[in-house]
């Protein structure tokens, strides 16, 4: 499956979560993602046990072909978005972070793969991709939170995304966002 | 919210109430222990077994702190039968999804996933959690297991079963 197509699916999952939360409420957004997460687990388990089916195309839509187990990205994507939507407070900040994660990350990957200037600390990522992440993330987050928080979140997630955490990107980036949000909550900034 | 109210209304059915009560209060810890032993037997590798034990301990250790940070009350707050701590994220759902993570890739997964979903929903049916609190618990438990597995794999250097998110060898 083409990486650009995979990123478009990544973008659509984020948009669906935001749309459901905005129009029907957070509980419906979480319920939708939970169902996707459980279906993803069923497909992943089937694949890990060596099964082949017509549903393989679904796993390829969400995950990279080099992943092991194949289709793991399908599950981590839902875990990442679920984590942001469930754990970030207040709700507008959760929506801003899901938007950065879905739009910023997708655009950064599509443009970054064509970039020629590699980051000094991670040869798998490009400067073009990180700048795209920062600018697009800042702009989409402004739809939900103030410019101050938009910039802080976009900077944080762009930095987190650029580091090789030895953990799936879809898990590491939201985890950093949740920890940052926890610090803001604990210190009374939010 | 309509779905949550529907789930709570199911508790009036004696059969549902009996099943739900198997996973409440002290009986849950007995059931969890039993399920954890089955998960240990079916786990695919020693990495997963050690990660399972570490994840259960980590959830038990970290969860009270996380609950106090979010300080989200339970839907039953104020009732005499309500548990005294906060509700987000659900501990029952967290522990159930640690077991799901440990059995992923085995035939036991087909038993553990429905059981975990039922444990999570049973908390809504009995009125002690909201749907968003169990969604938080599900993702919390699963994520803790994945992190524990990565850490355990790093220390054990076990290569028999490639870890989640690793690169496939050509």
pLDDT score of A125: 87
ipTM: 0.88
Inter-chain touch B109–A37, beta carbons under 8 Å = no
Of A31, A68, A171, the CB nearest to B146: A171
Q: What is the mean pLDDT of chain A?
A: 87
Per the CB < 8 Å rule, is A87 touching B168? Answer: no
Cα distance between residue A104 and residue A134, in whole Å = 7
pLDDT of res. B168:
47
Q: List, in order, residues 6 or more apart from B108 with CB less than 8 Å away.
A: B38, B39, B42
Give the per-residue SS3 of chain A: CCHHHHHHHHHHHHHHHHHHHHHHCHHHHHHHHHHHHHHHHHHHHHHHCCCCCCCHHHHHHHCCCCEECCCHHHHHHHHHHHHHHHHCCCHHHHHHHHHHHHHHHHHHHHHHCCCCCEECCEEEEEHHHHHHHHHHHHHHHCCCCCHHHHHHHHHHHHHHHHCCCCCCHHHHHHHHHHHHHHHHHHCCCC
Angle at A82 between CA A78 and CA A87, to 5 degrees: 155
**Residue A110 and residue A64: Cα distance in Å, rounded?**
14
Is residue A186 less than 8 Å (CB to CB) from chain B? yes
Residues in chain B: 170
Tell me if residue B16 falls in helix, strand or coil.
Answer: helix
Which residues of chain A lie closer than 8 angstroms to B106, CB-CB?
45, 49
SS3 of residue B24 by DSSP? coil
**Which residues does chain B have within 8 Å of residue A33's beta carbon, measured at their own beta carbons?**
135
Instruction: Determine the Cα–Cα distance for residues A44 and A37; give it in Å rounded to an integer.
Output: 10
Contact A27/B at CB under 8 A: yes
Asked whether the predicted pLDDT for residue A28 surpasses 90, the reply is: no
Contacts of A83 in chain B (CB under 8 A): 139, 143
Q: Do A67 and B167 touch (CB under 8 A)?
A: yes
Average pLDDT, chain B: 87
> Do residue B165 and residue A82 have CB atoms under 8 angstroms apart?
no
Contact at CB, B69 and A48, closer than 8 angstroms: no
pTM: 0.89
If you measure CA to CA, which chain B residue comes closest to A38? B113
> CB A168 to CB B132 under 8 A?
no
**Alpha carbons B32 and B16: distance in angstroms, whole number:** 19
Three-state DSSP class for residue B61:
helix
Task: Measure the CA–CA gap between B145 and B100, rounded to whole angstroms.
Answer: 9
Q: Are A85 and A20 in contact (CB under 8 A)?
A: no
Contact B143 A68 (CB under 8 A): no
Closest residue in B to A88 (Cα–Cα): B70
B167, β-bridge pairs: A67
A29 inside 8 A of chain B by CB = no
Predicted local confidence at residue A188, as pLDDT: 84
pLDDT computed for residue B28 by the predictor? 82
Contact A58/A41 with Cβ under 8 angstroms? no
Q: List the single residue in B with minimal CA-CA distance to A28.
A: B1
Residue B122 has pLDDT above 70, yes or no: yes
Q: Label residue A84 by pLDDT band (50, 70, 90).
A: very high
Q: Does A45 touch chain B (CB under 8 A)?
A: yes
Residue B156 has pLDDT above 60, yes or no: yes
Q: Is the pLDDT of residue B170 over 70?
A: no
The mean pLDDT value for B65-77 works out to: 91
Query: For residue A3, how many other CB atoms are within 10 A of its CB?
Result: 12
Q: Which residues of B touch A63 (CB under 8 A)?
A: none
- CB burial readout A107-122, b (16+ within 10 A) else e: bbbbbbeebeeebeee
Tell me if chain B has a CB within 8 Å of the CB of A69. Answer: yes
Residue A66 has a pLDDT of: 63
């Amino acid at each position: 499956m083409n990486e650009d197509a995979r990123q478009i699916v990544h973008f659509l999952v984020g948009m669906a979560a935001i749309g459901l939360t905005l129009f029907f409420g957070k509980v419906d957004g979480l319920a939708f993602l939970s169902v996707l997460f459980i279906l993803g687990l069923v497909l992943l388990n089937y694949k890990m046990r060596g099964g082949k089916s017509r549903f393989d195309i679904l796993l390829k839509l969400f995950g990279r072909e080099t992943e092991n187990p194949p289709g793991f990205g399908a599950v981590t994507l839902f875990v990442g978005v679920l984590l942001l939507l469930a754990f970030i407070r207040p709700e507008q900040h959760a929506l801003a972070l899901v938007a950065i994660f879905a739009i910023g990350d997708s655009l950064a990957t599509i443009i970054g793969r064509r970039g020629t200037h590699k980051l000094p600390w991670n040869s798998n990522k490009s400067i073009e991709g990180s700048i795209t992440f920062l600018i697009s993330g800042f702009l989409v987050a402004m739809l939900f939170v103030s410019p101050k928080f938009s910039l802080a979140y976009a900077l944080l997630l762009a930095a987190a995304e650029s580091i090789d955490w030895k953990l799936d990107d879809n898990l590491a980036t939201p985890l950093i966002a949740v920890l940052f949000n926890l610090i803001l909550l604990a210190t009374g900034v939010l | 919210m309509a779905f949550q109210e529907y789930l709570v209304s199911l508790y009036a059915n004696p059969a549902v109430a009996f099943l739900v009560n198997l996973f409440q209060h002290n009986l849950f810890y007995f059931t969890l222990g039993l399920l954890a032993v089955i998960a240990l037997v079916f786990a695919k590798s020693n990495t997963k077994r050690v990660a399972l034990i570490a994840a259960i301990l980590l959830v038990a250790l970290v969860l009270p702190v996380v609950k106090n940070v979010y300080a989200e009350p339970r839907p039953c707050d104020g009732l005499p039968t309500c548990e005294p701590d906060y509700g987000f994220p659900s501990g029952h759902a967290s522990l159930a999804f640690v077991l799901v993570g440990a059995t992923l890739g085995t035939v036991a997964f087909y038993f553990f996933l429905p059981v975990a979903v039922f444990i999570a929903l049973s908390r809504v049916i009995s009125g002690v959690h909201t749907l968003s609190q169990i969604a938080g618990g599900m993702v919390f438990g699963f994520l803790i297991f994945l992190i524990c597995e990565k850490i355990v794999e790093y220390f054990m250097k076990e290569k028999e079963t490639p870890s989640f998110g690793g690169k496939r060898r050509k």
